[in-house]
Amino acid sequence: MGKDKNPRRVADNEAMAKLRMLRTSPQKLNLVAQLIRGKKVERALTDLTFSKKRIAEDVRKCLQSAIANAENNHGLDVDELIVAEAFVGKNLVMKRGRPRARGRFGRINKPFSELTIKVRQIEEQA
């Protein structure tokens, strides 16, 4: 009698994780997301662990969440996962400011962004 189940947003061989309200600009976050696109997950985790970017730690946690979702929720093999997509979106911008000379006001924007990571299981070529 209830409602039908919502269809999956990703394919059967995919899993995703989303991270919202990251305190960095989307432009800076996209530099780190470019670092992992299309790579195997263990290589991507290694690259993020040794990256000097501040936000790389949060991206690594999101990737680990996507891997855990793939393993626990969808029954995918962790050794055959690649980062299929890693895309960045804008979120809110806090507007702050600082008084400047001659009655002016210097505006300071503090942007937030969000990150979506999709991992896909590929079959090993023998």
Nearest to 81 by CA among 15, 9, 34, 10: 15
Summarize the confidence of residues 14-24 as an average pLDDT.
Answer: 96
Sheet holding 14-22, edge to edge: 14-22, 105-121, 81-99
Residue 125: what pLDDT?
63
Look at residue 13 and tell me whether its pLDDT is greater than 70.
Answer: yes
Residue range 37-59, pLDDT digits in tens: 999 999 999 999 999 999 999 99
Dihedral of the CA atoms 45, 22, 32, 60 (nearest 10)? 0
Which percentage of the chain shows pLDDT scores above 70?
Answer: 97
Alpha-carbon distance 48 to 21, whole Å?
19
